[in-house]
Structure 1
Amino acid sequence: MSLRILHTADWQIGKGFGQIPGDDGAALRNQRLETLGNLAELAKSEAVDAVLAAGDVFDGQSVADRTVRQVFEQMRAFSGPWVLLPGNHDAAVAESVWERADRMGAVPPHVHIATAPQPILLEEPGLAVLPGVLQRRHEPADVTAWFDDVDLPSRYTAIGLAHGSITGFLPTEADSANPIAFNRAAMANLAYLALGDWHGTLQVNERSWYAGTPETDRFNSKNPGNALLVTLPDDGGTPDVEVRATTRYRWHRLSQTVHEPDDIAALGDRLADLGAPTTDQVVDLTLHGALPLADKAALDQMIASWRGRLRHLRVDDAELSTRATEADIAALEGAGFVATAAKRLRQSAEAGEPADATALEMLLAAYRRHVEG
């Protein structure tokens, strides 16, 4: 009879999102707990035999006691076995978050914490989970090496659970610490190797996968926001791995050049095409180009509108300049010292003084508000 597991990793509960302040950051932080609850519901609806979390359950050792309790409460929706592996963020060090959770009595009986390099035998499904335990944040040696020498009863199917970097496989930006042999699954005769640390879903070989984080948490992740439903055939054949989207929030990095109203309209169309609901989109927008002051005002108004519609919109307009047209200056005729100041600022701006260009924009905007009442 085939076995089914739900492979997930890198929940990083308690993640701060310091680059996204206020309510937006709080919403992203809280969603990670809600997504964990969704994973439990997915495990229940798919009737999996076990859930394996390949490290970094918590974002750090100092998460609040309430957060620790909330994590384990979310797991109660699926009453089957969970196996949680410490990662580099929540390593099994002395006085770890795992020891604290145990002292608090927060860990339900069906949740197994893999804090020692020894098999975890799940008798009813017949699974033997071999954990590559990180007992400090960075291990120079391969903590999965012991998998090769394990002698298990024949009725158990062996699955490896590890958190680190597959040697010579991941892109150069991945951490080089906590190495894992590329062919560990074959050397240890594993049915499957469930990996964590890389935040995108990624296949290493036919029996080794990174699940990625189930809730997207950065702009530069590759294929994040998933969990893996893994079916292990009873004949020992290649696992069937199904990618399931689990993320609520989707993160986008956009760049737009604007020189005229059509460019502004095109930017609005791009934001509208990100997907629904718009409140589930997180956007990092870089603007380039140059705009007349009136068009810049229209752009600012559009961006203000989108800030209210998106979960978060971060704008970098350092490469966007503004210029005053003859019509802008002509509108100040009869305005006395305001017109004089605007002409001088325009001359300085055209001579390459960005601060004066900004000052001119602010002056004209203030004058328009004054005239309009």
Structure 2
Amino acid sequence: MTVPLFELPDPEQTDAELPVPRPRVIGRAESRREHAAPGSETAHEVTFVHTADWQLGMTRHYLGPEAAHAYTAARHEAIERIGALAAEVDAEFVVVAGDVFEDQRVSSRIIRRTLDALATFGVPVYLLPGNHDPYDAAGVYRSRTFVQACPDNVTVLSGDGVHQVRDGVELVAAPWAHKHPGADLVGRQVARLSSGDGIRILVGHGGVDEMTPGNGTSLIGLGSLETAVESGIVDYVALGDRHSVTSVGSTGRIWYPGAHEVTNFDHIEESPGHALAVTLRRSGAAREIEVAPHRVGQWSFRTISTDLGGLADIEALRARLDDIDDKSRTVLQLGLVGSISVADSAVLDDLLDECADRFAAVTRWGRADDLVVLADDADLGELAVGGYVRDAAEELFARSRSDDPDSAGSARDALALLRRLAGNAR
């Protein structure tokens, strides 16, 4: 395996734990180094894939066992699609800008399967430790499993500073050594750089001060980044931490690629599930850039808010949900407001039960969910039951109008259930 960049032996590690150096695999793009026409300045060009925030080992509490298994598999398959993308665009390397793993507790199975997938890429892969997987003594990257299983083409950017990928192309790494750095790690690297004539890619992780609430000491200062980009000290800033594809600032050279597979609902993550294919060209002061997002994720987490006032609104919601494609890989979060009758509530419950079977998961959006069920005389009149059941229904109906909201709510829920059972019995 390859020794992580800039890493010095840890005095607390035993000899058995120390990585064994092996030759680095540079990949198939050796011919694309630099060229110069007679009488002109040296020109440099590089194409690479920028991705981040895989957070492998992540789970979602609202997914049942079957859906959780499928979601985990999809997150692994998205890594394989990133490798395919690298081949498609003829990338020289892939850089993962932080949070490859969810935390240091990920299983050895996840570590080994991830490294097996990266071994098939055919080009170098650079992993930057982020806030979820910092390069500390208890971290994933120093674990025996990772050290033993790491393939030759994978390099951990474990120490900060400049690394020469090849002639004319440099990575500048700003890794997290622990979870609370207390400083702008990216800005610290910018301050150390001087101008050069090659292509320089700054790799960092964290929130940018102009986009992130608060004034945390580890926020990345956008001003210094834009100055470095505009002055030509840096040609591209590959960031991680934000889970939506985002171009930062006005230069068009500072990007978050977003998570490779969706991790949150679409009112929070606007455009997850992508990786960026980046091409940089530089000849003296002349510079060009191409950034193209490519879809690598397959799942979607949809938030739907709607006002329900009766059966017509419920049927409109049904039609809206029917129109959603790829239901088995879609998680629904419903925010339902308004008021409906007990009879309509029974219809809605049937719809939600149906959706639970068709979609990966269905959950209610607590902060935006305020649907009131009101019992009226028609609900009791249409309930086709008799005897003791009828007596119970009349008692529930009376309780549904109680001043005690908990008692009234429980009674309405019971009436709705009775309505459904009575309907199924006919």
- Secondary structure at the aligned position of 2:173 is classed as strand
Counterparts of 1:1-373 in structure 2 under 5 Å?
Answer: 1-100=44-143, 104-123=147-166, 126-144=168-186, 145-150=188-193, 154=197, 156-167=198-209, 169-172=210-213, 176=216, 178-182=218-222, 183-184=224-225, 186-187=227-228, 189-205=233-249, 206=251, 207-219=253-265, 220-235=268-283, 236-274=286-324, 276-315=325-364, 319-331=370-382, 335-352=386-403, 353-369=408-424, 371-372=425-426
- Secondary structure at the aligned position of 1:38 is classed as helix
Inter-CA distance 102–368: structure 2 relative to 1 (3 Å threshold): closer
Q: Distance in 2 between matches of 1:344 and 1:177?
A: 61
Is this contact kept in 1: 2:342–2:412, CA < 8 A? Answer: no
The one-letter code of the counterpart of 2:127 is L
Task: Tell me the TM-score normalized by structure 1.
Answer: 0.90
- Secondary structure at the aligned position of 1:28 is classed as helix
Inter-CA distance 196–116: structure 2 relative to 1 (3 Å threshold): same
Shift of 1:153: 7.3
Q: Among all aligned residue pairs of Structure 1 and Structure 2, give the percentage whose two residues are the same amino acid.
A: 26
The worse-fitting range, judged by mean Cα deviation, of 139-148 and 53-62 is 139-148
Q: Distance in 2 between matches of 1:121 and 1:135?
A: 21
What's the CA shift string for 1:273-332, capped at 9, x where partnerless? 33x222221110122233333332222222222222212211358633334454543355
What's the CA shift string for 1:115-168, capped at 9, x where partnerless? 0113222126x42111101101121112221343346875x421100001222x
Q: Which runs of 5+ in 2 are unaligned?
A: 1-43
- Secondary structure at the aligned position of 1:234 is classed as strand
Q: Distance in 2 between matches of 1:135 and 1:146?
A: 14
The one-letter code of the counterpart of 1:129 is L
Q: Distance in 1 between matches of 2:114 and 2:288?
A: 33
Q: Distance in 2 between matches of 1:322 and 1:149?
A: 63
Is this contact kept in 1: 2:63–2:360, CA < 8 A? Answer: no
Inter-CA distance 105–223: structure 2 relative to 1 (3 Å threshold): same
Is this contact kept in 1: 2:141–2:147, CA < 8 A? Answer: no
Moved over 6 A (4+): none
Q: Distance in 1 between matches of 2:236 and 2:280?
A: 8
Shift of 1:8: 0.6
Q: Distance in 2 between matches of 1:324 and 1:92?
A: 59
Is this contact kept in 1: 2:140–2:146, CA < 8 A? Answer: no
- Secondary structure at the aligned position of 1:165 is classed as coil
- Secondary structure at the aligned position of 1:178 is classed as coil
Shift of 1:349: 1.2
- Secondary structure at the aligned position of 2:400 is classed as helix
The one-letter code of the counterpart of 2:216 is S
- Secondary structure at the aligned position of 2:143 is classed as helix
The one-letter code of the counterpart of 1:314 is T
The one-letter code of the counterpart of 1:216 is V
Task: Tell me the TM-score normalized by structure 2.
Answer: 0.79
Inter-CA distance 78–103: structure 2 relative to 1 (3 Å threshold): closer
Residue number in structure 1 paired with 2:26: none
Q: Distance in 1 between matches of 2:291 and 2:144?
A: 32
The worse-fitting range, judged by mean Cα deviation, of 254-263 and 195-204 is 254-263
